[in-house]
Every structure is written in structure tokens, then in C-alpha cells.
Chains A and B, each alone.
Chain A
Amino acid sequence: MRFRAKIVDLACLNHFSRVVNTIAKLAKTCTLRLTVSKLYFILSDKVLNGGVGMWCELNQGNFFDEFQMEGVSAEHNEIYLELMPENLSRALKTAHNAKAVKMKLTNKHCPCLRVAVELPSLSSSSRIVTHDIPVGVIPRRLWNDFREPSVPDFDVSIYLPALKIMKSVVERMRNLSNYVVIEANLSGEMNLKVETDLVCVTTHFKDLGNPSWALEDGCQSSQDRDPESMAEARIDIRKLQQLLAGQQVNPTKALCNIVSKRVVHLILLHEDVSLQYFIPALT
């Protein structure tokens, strides 16, 4: 098992840092999966038990100038590591002026991801700041736990409104209640509703548009659907707020799939990063 990677381009480095920062806001511990062409940050908090799921996929070529990975075996050429993304985020914070950042999997006393940040220096020898991030190697027999979640047979698929507005509304609603109901239909309408003894607040978003794949025969349940009829799910508002708060850059595409009363599946796509977030519905 070997892993070495290097980033030299400052823009790529900043972009990578932003992704890691977002992940750090969403999960305390997660799984990093390395393949020849991609990196994945995975959280599969047993969605069946009411936890959230997260799947973030990056094309390594868009970030790294050098990337060498040798997996567990030739047949299974991948590495699965458990780590705390906050540690990686902190290490990368020191790198905002760096000449280069190198990452390497080491096992001196215990498995670590060694992040070496080469900083500009006035003298001829460079300054290097090294962070050793403890990681857990996940054995192959557990790899099945981290499969990409299949896109659920959703009832409605809709594009999200401007994240800035959604974030502000959700933040205020968070003060009013722990739960929010998200509902949407195939006519491009989405509502966020909060209801308590004291107050009812509903925010109506219109003209959002529905992705065309929702209307293809790929998804049977939404084909015969009345376009005005709403699919709804009641979720823990803090989970939604965490996702929105962690977004530092506007995604190229942001959409939401709802399986009525079961799960809300949010997909945020940037040029070279895709982030999927699953929030289970509560009764």
C-alpha cells in the first residue's frame, strides 16, 4: 500500500482546501477512499438508523500535479482510510502561501497521512512544515460498507434555489424549531416549512426548474405524477444548516431529490467536485 501526491499550483491547492473545509464542517470522522483516478470522502452513518450520508467525489487529476497510488492488492487497487477531516483542514490552513504540498502515507509508529507544506523562504533552503495526521486503515472486508449509495427512486427532483437565500432562511428557521419540512413538486416549486406551538413559517420558492432526468422514463414513480403534487420530508434542520453553512463556493448545479417521507438527497456539483448528501426523514 503506497500513496504519494503533490500539489504545486496555488489555485488547485486553495480549491482542495475549500473542499476539505466543507467536509470538515459536515463530518467529524469520515472515510477517505483513494483510487487511481479519484478521491472520495465518504460518510455512511448508517442511514437506516437515522444518520446522514455523504459522498464527495473528486477527480485527482484536477487537483494534484503528481499522484501515485498503489492499493491493497493488484486486484483491489484502492486504499480506504479513516480520518478526521478537521486535521487535514488545519494542516492545509498553513499552506495558503505554499510553494508545494506533498502528501504521503507513512507507518512509522502508526499509520499517518504526512502532509508536508513547503513554504517560501528568504534563504536558499526551504522551510517545511510537516503535519502527521493519524489515520485508520480500513480492511478490505469492510469496504462494502462504503459503496456509493444508489440514487433513490425519488418522487420529485428539483433544482435548489440560490444557496445564499436558502442558507439565510434555514438559519432563521433554526431559531424557531429543530425540524423543517421540505416539500417540492415537478412544477418547479419548493417550500420550506416550520411549525411549532408559537409560530408557523413557510417560505415559497418558485420557478426553480426540474432536471429533465426526472421526466425521463428512468424513474417510474415520478412519471405518472401530478406535477402540482408535493413530495415532502420532515428532517432535522441542523443537518440541512450544516450543509448550507459549509458551502464556500456556489456550485455549478445544485439539486434535490425527495423520496416522500423517507429521505432528502441533495446533490451539489462543481466543475471537478461532486457532493451528495443524504438526510433521512423523521416521523
Chain B
Amino acid sequence: ASLDNARHLSSLLRAVHFQDHATCFATNNGLRVTVEDAKCIQANAFIQAEIFQEFAVQEQTVTFRINLSVLLDCLTIFDTSSLPGTSTALKMCYRGYGYPLMLFLEEGGVVTVCKINTQEPEDLLDFDFCSTKVVNKIILQSEGLRKAFAELDMTSEVMQITMSPDKPYFRLSTFGNAGSAHLDYSKDSDLIEAFHCNQIQTNRYKISLLKPSTKALALSCKVSIRTDAQGFLSLQYMIRNEDGQICFVEYYCCPDENITEEM
């Protein structure tokens, strides 16, 4: 694969970088990078083939596990984020099972070659979250949520999300040392682009698992929040890159089970 501007890839990968390891899937459609933690949360970054200047996959799917921290250090080796107007050109090659991932990065005549060892892909969670099972769905402009997420009371163990056809419509709550905090969004608010709530649902999620999604939120222009009957949460972020192309990052999260209810 080749990319004129490595930032198109590195900024998206940063948005899912909350663990050292990630699994990469390459198909004809593009690249998907998945990061998981504690069997409760999964983040996926999708970079379609169209974003790349060149994207070719020999087999149906190519899968490997890689150290995401190392990959990001390599992709940002020239740190051009601090120099506006310049960008690093990238070429990636993967020969197959057992081979390392090769990266060729070029910036102003200087070339860096990276060879990153890959590992066996591990089994990943399948949240089985499909649109037909969605109970509630809200699409908001990200700027509305950014401040809320940046200021989350981290002394609270959970974040509670309430979605309802009646008041309070959409509420984010935390229960921390200083007390509980509630942030309400009215369904008529300008920030809300779509509001489809059929029944009232209140779910709690471990705040430490959701905090990394703030990175994706910061990059995005829109976010869709969906829950299914079991309370599984899907956050989908629409991200526009420097060239105006659209990419998606998704976070899936299990609801937090109360200790007493655990089986």
C-alpha cells in the first residue's frame, strides 16, 4: 500500500491506541485495525482502500498482530505534525504469514526503513452488533460531546448513559467522590442530528474503558451512539482527514455488570 501523507493513517491509529497490541486485517476494501481490552471493549479503525494511493491485497484477507506503539513510532518518525505543509510519504508491504511488516517512509529526501515483527493474530471478540438489533440511536455533532468527555469525573467508576423517548432524552452521568454529575442533551438541541429512541434505557459502562474513546471523539466531526437490547454500546466516529476524506472509528463496549448480578 502507498500513502502520500502518513498522517492519514497515523492519526487514525492514535485514536484506537489504548493497548500495545493491535490486530490488522487487510482486504480489498481496505485496512481495519482492532484493539481490545479486558474482553469488554473493542476499538476498530477503518481506512478504506480509496484513501490510499495504492492498495493491493493478494489473498482474500491478510491478518496479523502487531505492536501498535512501535508501529506508531515508526509512522511518525519524522514528526511532521509540527511542521505545517510537509508530509511523510509511506509505503507498506507485508509478504505473508511469518514475515515482518515493512514500512518505507520518506520526508524531504530522507528515507526511513522499518521492519516490524508480526505475530499470530489472536481471536477477537465479535460483538455481533447489527443495525437490526439496535434499540436506541442518537447521532450528534462531536463538538457537543467533546467538552463533556474531556471533563469526565474520573473518580467515578462508571459512566451511565440514559437514552429515552421522553425527558431527559439523552443523559450522561457520573458518580464520583465529589458527588454525581448529570449532563443532559435535549432531543431538540442543534447538536443532535438524529434521535431514534424507542424505549428508555439506562446502562453503565466502566469509565476507564471509555476514556480512550476521547481521542477518537477529538478527531471526529460526528458521532453515533447506539445501544442494543443487552445494553452493549456502539460508538461510531466519523473522521474527516486533512484531504477531506472520511474514515470511521468504532468503539464497542460491554455494559458494566453489578457484582451482585454476576453469574
Q: Type the 1/0 row for A168-194, where 1 means its CB is closer than 8 Å to any CB of B.
A: 110111011000000000000000000
A160, chain B: closest CB distance, angstroms: 12
Residues B107 and A165 in contact, CB atoms below 8 Å apart: yes
B113, chain A: closest CB distance, angstroms: 5
Residues A197 and B76 in contact, CB atoms below 8 Å apart: no
Q: Which residues of B contact A171 (CB under 8 A)?
A: 79
Does A97 make an interface contact (CB < 8 A)? no
User: With A165-B107, A169-B112, A198-B116 known to touch, is A203 a contact of B77 (CB < 8 Å)?
Assistant: yes
B29, chain A: closest CB distance, angstroms: 28
| CA distance in complex: A204, B111 (Å) | 5
Residues B110 and A203 in contact, CB atoms below 8 Å apart: yes
Residues A165 and B74 in contact, CB atoms below 8 Å apart: no
Residues A165 and B110 in contact, CB atoms below 8 Å apart: yes
| CA distance in complex: A266, B112 (Å) | 22
Partner of B67, one of A169, A198, A204: A198
Q: Which of A196-212 contact B (CB under 8 A)?
A: 197-207
Residues B110 and A197 in contact, CB atoms below 8 Å apart: no
Residues A201 and B112 in contact, CB atoms below 8 Å apart: yes
Does A161 make an interface contact (CB < 8 A)? yes
Residues A199 and B70 in contact, CB atoms below 8 Å apart: yes
Counting chain B CB atoms within 10 Å of each CB, the highest count among A164, A172, A202, A204 belongs to A172
Counting chain A CB atoms within 10 Å of each CB, the highest count among B69, B76, B114 belongs to B114
Q: Which residues of B contact A200 (CB under 8 A)?
A: 114-115
B104, chain A: closest CB distance, angstroms: 10
Residues A165 and B114 in contact, CB atoms below 8 Å apart: no
User: With A203-B111, A204-B112 known to touch, is A198 a contact of B77 (CB < 8 Å)?
Assistant: no
User: With A172-B79, A203-B77 known to touch, is A198 a contact of B70 (CB < 8 Å)?
Assistant: yes
Counting chain B CB atoms within 10 Å of each CB, the highest count among A164, A168, A199 belongs to A199
Residues B110 and A176 in contact, CB atoms below 8 Å apart: no
B105, chain A: closest CB distance, angstroms: 9
Q: Which residues of A contact B107 (CB under 8 A)?
A: 165
Q: Which residues of B contact A165 (CB under 8 A)?
A: 78, 107-108, 110
| CA distance in complex: A172, B69 (Å) | 11
A208, chain B: closest CB distance, angstroms: 10
Task: Name 17 interchain pairs, CB-CB below 8 A, sorted by A.
Answer: A161-B110, A165-B110, A168-B77, A168-B79, A169-B78, A171-B79, A172-B73, A172-B74, A175-B69, A198-B117, A199-B67, A199-B74, A199-B117, A200-B115, A201-B115, A205-B110, A207-B109
Extra pairs beyond A175-B69, A198-B117 (19, CB < 8 Å): A165-B108, A165-B110, A168-B79, A169-B77, A169-B112, A172-B74, A172-B79, A197-B117, A198-B116, A199-B67, A199-B70, A201-B114, A201-B115, A202-B112, A203-B110, A203-B113, A204-B112, A205-B110, A207-B109
Where the two chains meet, the residues of B that have a C-beta atom closer than 8 Å to any C-beta of A are 67, 69-70, 73-74, 76-79, 82-83, 107-117
The 10 closest A-B pairs by CB, nearest first: A168-B79, A203-B112, A200-B115, A201-B114, A172-B77, A172-B73, A199-B116, A204-B111, A175-B73, A202-B113
